[in-house]
Structure 1
Amino acid sequence: MILAILGGCATAPDAPIDVRVSNLPDGDHIVLRTPEVEIPASSETMWCSYGTWDGGDVGIAAYQRVQSAWGHHLRLLFVDDGAPADDTVIDCTGADVLPLDEARPVFFPSTDTDEQIVNALPAGMATPMGEGQRYVLENHVVNTSEAALLVSDVVLLSVVEPATVSTWASPWIAALETLSLPPAQSSSASLDCAIDEPIALLFVRGHQHEWGAGVTLDRVDGAGLVAPLYDSGPWQASYREAAPTTTFWDAPELISAGSTLRTNCQWFNDTDDTLQYPAEMCEVAGMKLGTEPWICRQ
């Protein structure tokens, strides 16, 4: 798929519909804006733009994505120094284009809203972002219209001085990306993630799309005993944007070394086509204690 990067507004009769984000919530936010990109009609794509943070060492205390009605998600990811140059834009739709072990999630929100920043960590808690940190904005757009869209979306960050942070937090995610869901039938799949070092979870949130039927997360100890940690219940269309969340803010859920985190997903594909990532997904994610992200993907 070709993504057209535009330097200005087109005026031709077949110009794309302008859905660039313009009205931002009030507040003292850091604004990270994606470049203008033209998304073809009737298409689903993820596109990625690179940058470098030059605002000094900070803690991210709150995060909000502001997208058009066609936006699915907009994630801030950290990358290493060898990543493409600032302002580079690539089509990153495939799971292997920007794998999670090369582009590390920065912040997972426990809720979603377009009205105000509510995706905030508790007072005194933040996730670190250092001076000179390379990053990429991963923008997932589902254009269900019959016209091309001109898109430019925004991530808003609320940052604090590191000296004010009493507890550091970082993201974690388990993602099953090797999906192949046959047409006109139910499917299920599981992902087992071995825990080599203890991790303490702060919250859990599942993610599927409209063909999802439910997501669960279990802890399996070394003796094989299974303890449920999360259950989305029967999946609903609205969960695609704001799934149920299980929180452990007051007493972080400790997952001991030698345990396994098992993600279970179910779907019903009522289409005539085989569904693959990113048309459908199977993820659980959240925040945990510590400064380093924990990532498990297959």
Structure 2
Amino acid sequence: MIGSLAGCTAPSHPPDVRDAAPEIDDVRVPIPAADPSFVDMVSPELRLEPGHEAIYCYYLDNPIGRFGSDHIEARQGMGGHHIGFRHASTHQPSGTFADCTSDQETRQLGDLFVGNDLPAGWATEIPADAQFVLEMHYINAGELPLLARDVIRIHRLPDAQITKWLHAMHLKIYDLVIGPGETTLAFTCTVPEDLALYTFWGHQHALGKRQQIDVTPPGSALYSLYDVTWGMGALVQGSNAEPVMLTAGSQIDVTCTWSPAGTVLRFPDEMCAFGGFVEGVEFSCAPPSRMP
């Protein structure tokens, strides 16, 4: 803290303190003031050395029971690649904060997508027994150690105001090996019950070239749901007014193609995922890949 000025006298600083270069890159997100309309997740502090990349997971028991949320506020510091709001498949002690970059159990985390552009009265259901997981992915490309702290604020919508309950759809693959040349892989997920799919989107990283989603209903012909040349087409598609009806037992084929990498890349350097909002049960799937 710098002391107040007295007249025209400049404050005195020891040269070694005043001129010292910073020893750490502090990108911590400020802790928000308490607000009863939000459930807050504030991660512990993460220190990441230069040249390192990591995904960390912070586990927190649901403190208020079942509720609906119409939006979240996700806050991440510089150097952050993504922040995710998920739930644990196997509960950990509440407050656990651990590296989950390659942990097999955390790769099966469920997803608690909450849309920030949902129509009024629509909300994602947050189950009473859900253990929240704040997933934070950081890449330190700088020359100083990085100090991070992320925040997710989950907005509560009173049940009396909710007209439609939604759940997450998240189809993804962790068995991911691409390169050094152009690579295509695919995986298949089965729709668990009749679902109404509203907005939906694909996800790849910088080398992504094309993503295709094909649906084959039981006893019917295959049709294309999503076909995007990465970086060219609209990534978010679908409609809140006219959902796509997915019949129970339908096969959803997710196919991703990447441009030449020049080396071999794995998750999380590249990704292949397809997400959206459904009316019905949560639809989460992470099978092994099929290399065409």
TM-score normalised according to structure 1 size:
0.81
Conserved 8 A contact 2:31-2:42: no
Within-5 A mapping of 1:160-199: 160-183=157-180, 185-199=181-195
Conserved 8 A contact 2:179-2:261: no
Cα distance change of structure 1 residues 165 and 226 upon mapping to structure 2, 3 Å threshold: same
Aligned to 1:153: 150
Q: Select the residue among 96, 105, 110 that pairs with 2:111.
A: 105
Query: Are 1:278 and 2:268 an aligned pair?
Result: yes
Partner AA of 2:29 in structure 1: V
Counterpart CA distance in 2 for 1:214 and 1:177 is 18
Structure 2: gaps of 5 or more residues: 1-16, 288-292
Cα distance change of structure 1 residues 289 and 18 upon mapping to structure 2, 3 Å threshold: same
Partner AA of 2:282 in structure 1: P
**1:91-128 Cα distance to aligned partner (Å, 9 max, x none):** 1001624023xx2111154xxxxxxxxx1321111112
Counterpart CA distance in 2 for 1:86 and 1:131 is 15
Counterpart CA distance in 2 for 1:124 and 1:198 is 22
**1:73-97 Cα distance to aligned partner (Å, 9 max, x none):** 21122226x6221221111001624
State the aligned residue count: 267
Partner AA of 1:164 in structure 2: Q
Counterpart CA distance in 2 for 1:215 and 1:107 is 21
Partner AA of 1:297 in structure 2: A
Shift of 1:65: 1.5
Question: What secondary structure is seen at the aligned counterpart in 1 of 2:267?
Answer: coil
Query: Are 1:255 and 2:252 an aligned pair?
Result: no
Aligned to 2:30: 22
Shift of 1:61: 0.6
Within-5 A mapping of 1:74-113: 74-79=83-88, 83-94=91-102, 96-100=104-108, 103-109=109-115
Question: What secondary structure is seen at the aligned counterpart in 1 of 2:182?
Answer: strand
Counterpart CA distance in 2 for 1:56 and 1:255 is 30
**1:252-287 Cα distance to aligned partner (Å, 9 max, x none):** 11111232111110102333x310111110000011
TM-score normalised according to structure 2 size:
0.83
**1:117-149 Cα distance to aligned partner (Å, 9 max, x none):** xx1321111112244642111111122222221
Aligned to 2:14: none
Aligned to 2:231: 235
Conserved 8 A contact 1:95-1:278: no
Partner AA of 2:217 in structure 1: D
Structure 1: gaps of 5 or more residues: 1-10, 110-118
Cα distance change of structure 1 residues 131 and 294 upon mapping to structure 2, 3 Å threshold: closer
Q: Select the residue among 66, 70, 77 that pairs with 1:57.
A: 66
Conserved 8 A contact 1:46-1:139: yes
Partner AA of 1:295 in structure 2: S
**1:173-204 Cα distance to aligned partner (Å, 9 max, x none):** 11121111122x10011111122422211111
Aligned to 1:219: 215
Counterpart CA distance in 1 for 2:153 and 2:248 is 35
Aligned to 2:286: 297
Q: Select the residue among 188, 198, 203 that pairs with 2:199.
A: 203
Cα distance change of structure 1 residues 147 and 180 upon mapping to structure 2, 3 Å threshold: same
Counterpart CA distance in 1 for 2:71 and 2:78 is 22
Shift of 1:56: 4.2
Shift of 1:248: 2.2
Question: What secondary structure is seen at the aligned counterpart in 2 of 1:145?
Answer: coil
Cα distance change of structure 1 residues 154 and 275 upon mapping to structure 2, 3 Å threshold: same
Identity %: 26
